[in-house]
Structure 1
Amino acid sequence: MHENHRDLHRRLVRPQATGLTRRALLGAAGAALAAPALAQSDWPNRAIRLIVPFAPGGSSDVLARLIQPGLGAALGQSVIVENRSGAGSMLGTEAVARSPADGYTLLLADLPYAIVPALQARMPYDVERDLVPVVMVGAAPLLIFGHPSLPARNAAEFAALARARPGHYTYGSGGVGAASHMMGELFQIATGTQLTHVPYRGGGPAIQDLAAGNLNTVFVTVASAAPQLSSGQIRGLGVMATERMRSHPDIPTFREQGIDLVAEHWWGLLAPRGTPEPVIARIAAAMPGVLGGTGMAERLDALAVIPRSDGPAPFGERIRQDIRRYGEIARSRGITAQ
């Protein structure tokens, strides 16, 4: 039996409070203050590997290479970006989870890190046990994009069309369980609509088919659809954020349109469990300077990525919230890996 739609909507489409205690925040601050003491140790004395669990060219790869020079300069050693794609990001993530906990191997994780556990009956690592949060890097609001032929100017008008013709309108995704799939499910829960899901092998082909007119909508970040958006091949119908984006102020938020839905994609660094706390603190303390480096604001703004440098405690709470949120979506909607 499925639970009441209103209860499901209330729990899944509204972001939860972090629930961080004052003690946890003070503890995180204390760890950051302890970072200077690490300067007397010999870490790092060789290159640091930053594993991206996706193929080159995607948003995670782009962001990793944006922070690579600044992070290396801040830590005094080279940072080497290594792409280890496969198994829906699990291959690269497992490689980091099984690496020595010495601070020389880091993972650039993103939202799918919190989604994958909901889809897999068995995993080669435990997302809450085998890796630990270090620092958040950035976040980007998710949007609904439509083809120009769609007779709707915004998300609210599209929802009205979809309610009138259940199952008629389509949305593409990067595959079953991908973030773009989950956003489509959230939209249906929030609006009481029924769309037809069309999964692809990656988000790129879905965006291309939307631009070609073979789909009605997709739910992705600006970074994933920037060329098609700027060329007018697709248009933004709404952004799942609390305020409009500076880079695209013409796209209204969902809440402006009467749809109570906020969701964002995030990226952050994780390390193998057991990595020394002073090492974690030093990396976390370096990130604000990395994100505030020369030219970084313009580069991040072009991708509609909001720089973040939340430390281990708040970043860890964000991961736990999303594991719960998307786990409930997968269970309630019957989504499993294929």
Structure 2
Amino acid sequence: MQYKSLDTKKIVFGLLAAILMTVLLAGCGGNSNSSAENVESQANNAEHTADYPKKTIEVIVPAGAGGGTDVAARLVSQYLHEELGVSLVVVNVNGAGGTLGTRQVKDAEPDGYKVSFYNEGTILNEVMGVADYGMDAFKQAGIAMDVNSVALVSSSKFESFEAMMTYAEENPGKLKFGVEMGTYTQLLGEYIEQQRGVDLQLVDVGGVNAAIASLAGGHVDFIQSPLGVAKDYVESGEFNSLVVLGEQRYDKLQDIPTLQEQGVDFVLPKFYYFAFPKETPDEIVDVFTSALEKVTAGPAFAERAEGLYLTPNYRNPEDSIALFEKYKQLFESYQEQ
């Protein structure tokens, strides 16, 4: 009986061992299949990345057609087309201080075929609470260029910024500044009021094209505009360029003072950058930013950009991110005052 019991135990243990082995082998087989699927997926991603780009790239401009950002986007896109070998189509998505366009890119498929071309407005939108995201919601492809001279322009009745401020002091609430509420133009107006002790009438006219139309139509007294957009009006004498908002006077306008020289401690660094959705593969971004660096270094591109008061000034993604953080701190200091 003992021998029979022992044989039974051996059979039971043998069956248990066989069952365990089957489970283990099944588990190993599952992992093997999963690993194979991962390898296949990575291979497919690598294949798609390796032949990037192979179709049209959408350049989302979160501003209206004909404005400074739009003009710059179309210029650089033309040269990127030559470098990348595919078309770049500029799509204007205006509204909500630029957030409609930037959000569209933020939420897009991260395949490299939708990219944002915008300016410092993304930082200001976050700082001013217009958007619940900032530059870190994107994968940067680098800064393309700077706007040399962002000017305050007025109708020709004011020959200088100081003359305009004198009018504002003598006529509280009468001087009309055309702004886009929720953007840096509103912040700028409030800063002028605070530091010059005047009471302005901030008129919400929208983006730069609408602002220029409002000034030309006599609906407001002064606006903020990139010189490249307003230059025809300035050169004809219809508008006066009163101050520049950069840290230094612009080489081509040495007789126009900075806003800081006029007693308002406000500087507006202005630049144009490209950015992809956050999860876009690094390999795709590297292809794009390499092309951008080559374009901005080209003499033909530089000549055309300078004609629009733009300066090609490529910064790689890492340097761009550092610059964004610096400007975010600057704008936050303005907001606190």
TM-score (norm 2): 0.74
The residue aligned with 1:185 is 190
Q: Distance in 1 between matches of 2:53 and 2:103?
A: 23
- Counterpart residue type for residue 245 of structure 2: M
The residue aligned with 1:108 is 117
The residue aligned with 2:277 is 272
By percentage of residues, which structure has more helix?
2
Size of the alignment, in residue pairs? 289
Q: Secondary structure at the match of 1:172?
A: strand
Deviates most, 104-113 or 71-80: 71-80
Q: Distance in 1 between matches of 2:80 and 2:304?
A: 16
The one-character-per-residue Cα deviations of 1:11-31 (angstroms, maximum 9, x if unpaired) are xxxxxxxxxxxxxxxxxxxxx
The residue aligned with 1:27 is none
The residue aligned with 2:139 is 132
Matching residue within 56, 67, 90 for 1:58:
67
Shift of 1:63: 1.2
The residue aligned with 1:315 is 320
Matching residue within 150, 153, 156 for 1:142:
150
Shift of 1:270: 0.6
The residue aligned with 1:263 is 268
CA 1:309–1:186 in structure 2 vs 1: closer, same or farther (change >3 Å)?
A: farther
Unpaired runs of at least 5, structure 1: 1-37, 333-338
Unpaired runs of at least 5, structure 2: 1-46
The residue aligned with 1:5 is none
Matches within 5 A, 1:36-47: 41-47=50-56
Q: Secondary structure at the match of 1:308?
A: strand
Q: Secondary structure at the match of 1:264?
A: coil
Following TM superposition, the consecutive aligned residue runs of length 4 or more in structure 1 with deviations greater than 6 angstroms are none
Q: Distance in 1 between matches of 2:62 and 2:246?
A: 26
Report if aligned partners of 2:66, 2:209 keep a CA contact under 8 Å in 1: no
Identity of aligned residues (%): 25
Shift of 1:324: 4.2
Shift of 1:256: 4.5
The residue aligned with 1:201 is 206
Q: Distance in 1 between matches of 2:178 and 2:254?
A: 25
- Counterpart residue type for residue 150 of structure 2: L
Q: Distance in 1 between matches of 2:197 and 2:327?
A: 22
The residue aligned with 1:71 is 80
Q: Distance in 2 between matches of 1:322 and 1:75?
A: 31
CA 1:121–1:246 in structure 2 vs 1: closer, same or farther (change >3 Å)?
A: closer
The one-character-per-residue Cα deviations of 1:110-164 (angstroms, maximum 9, x if unpaired) are 12212222444664xx2244312211122223212122212xx332443344345
Q: Distance in 2 between matches of 1:65 and 1:272?
A: 21
- Counterpart residue type for residue 115 of structure 1: L
Shift of 1:253: 2.6
RMSD across aligned C-alpha pairs, in angstroms? 2.8
Q: Distance in 2 between matches of 1:84 and 1:162?
A: 36
Report if aligned partners of 1:156, 1:258 keep a CA contact under 8 Å in 2: no
The one-character-per-residue Cα deviations of 1:312-331 (angstroms, maximum 9, x if unpaired) are 12322333344444455456
Q: Distance in 2 between matches of 1:257 and 1:82?
A: 38
Q: Distance in 2 between matches of 1:86 and 1:179?
A: 15
Deviates most, 299-308 or 202-211: 202-211
Report if aligned partners of 2:177, 2:223 keep a CA contact under 8 Å in 1: yes
Q: Distance in 2 between matches of 1:195 and 1:282?
A: 48
Q: Distance in 1 between matches of 2:145 and 2:134?
A: 20
Report if aligned partners of 1:50, 1:106 keep a CA contact under 8 Å in 2: yes
Q: Secondary structure at the match of 2:253?
A: coil
Shift of 1:272: 0.9
Report if aligned partners of 1:180, 1:220 keep a CA contact under 8 Å in 2: no
1:81 aligns to 2:90 (yes or no): yes
Q: Secondary structure at the match of 1:181?
A: helix
The residue aligned with 2:243 is 238
The residue aligned with 2:36 is none
Bigger RCO (CA 8 Å, 6+ sep) = 1
Shift of 1:262: 2.4
Report if aligned partners of 1:135, 1:268 keep a CA contact under 8 Å in 2: yes
CA 1:185–1:43 in structure 2 vs 1: closer, same or farther (change >3 Å)?
A: same
TM-score (norm 1): 0.74
Shift of 1:190: 4.1
CA 1:185–1:322 in structure 2 vs 1: closer, same or farther (change >3 Å)?
A: farther
The one-character-per-residue Cα deviations of 1:217-271 (angstroms, maximum 9, x if unpaired) are 2122113322221221110111122333244343233345455432232211011
Q: Distance in 1 between matches of 2:213 and 2:107?
A: 37
